[in-house]
């Protein structure tokens, strides 16, 4: 993607994969206890309703177990887990605002699913 510096006006090419999770977790990522708890939440929510878990459901699940977390913090942890391959996400509808700059927003709530890698982590850690 080509972006323009707001200060000098120079154009730069940025290789970015928007919507694929936090890029820095693709190598040498070590999940914390909060990451593992979120994976457990997704696993239990998905099993209880035979569908994906929304961020609000995950936040509620954590709160019921005494773990308060802000929405922004949870979004960050979900993005890290997505980038590391422990979670997968399905966006039900996207609205494109500007074709040239590829600006878009998600119109519907993203739905989170556990990947095989995420399930294997839970099994290894005996956290489920």
Give the pLDDT confidence score for residue 53 in this predicted structure.
93
The answer to whether 14 and 1 are in contact (CB under 8 A) is yes
Give the pLDDT confidence score for residue 49 in this predicted structure.
86
The domain over range 18-125 is classified in CATH as 3.30.450.260: no
Q: What is the pLDDT of residues 82-107, one digit of tens each?
A: 989 999 888 765 566 666 776 666 56
Q: What is the pLDDT of residues 44-77, one digit of tens each?
A: 999 998 889 999 999 999 999 999 998 889 999 9
Handedness of CA 35, 40, 44, 50 (dihedral sign): positive
**DSSP notation for 47-101:** HHHTS-B-HHHHHHHHHHTT----HHHHHHHHHHHHHHTSEEEE-S-EEEEETTT
Q: What is the dihedral of CA 37, 39, 42, 45, to 10 degrees?
A: -50
Residue boundaries of the structural domains of the chain: 18-125
Reported confidence tier of residue 23, pLDDT bands at 50, 70, 90: low
Whether the model pTM is above 0.85? no
| Pairwise CA distance, residues 128 & 121, whole Å | 10
Give the pLDDT confidence score for residue 14 in this predicted structure.
60
């Amino acid at each position: 993607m080509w972006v323009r510096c707001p200060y000098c006006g120079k154009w730069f090419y940025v290789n970015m994969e928007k919507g694929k999770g936090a890029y820095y977790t693709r190598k040498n990522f070590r999940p914390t206890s909060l990451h593992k708890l979120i994976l457990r939440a997704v696993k239990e929510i998905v099993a209880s309703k035979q569908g994906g878990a929304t961020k609000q459901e995950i936040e509620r699940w954590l709160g019921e177990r005494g773990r308060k977390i802000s929405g922004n913090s949870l979004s960050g942890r979900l993005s890290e887990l997505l980038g590391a391959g422990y979670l997968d996400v399905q966006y039900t509808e996207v609205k494109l605002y500007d074709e040239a700059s590829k600006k878009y927003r998600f119109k519907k709530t993203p739905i989170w699913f556990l990947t095989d890698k995420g399930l294997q982590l839970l099994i290894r850690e005996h956290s489920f």
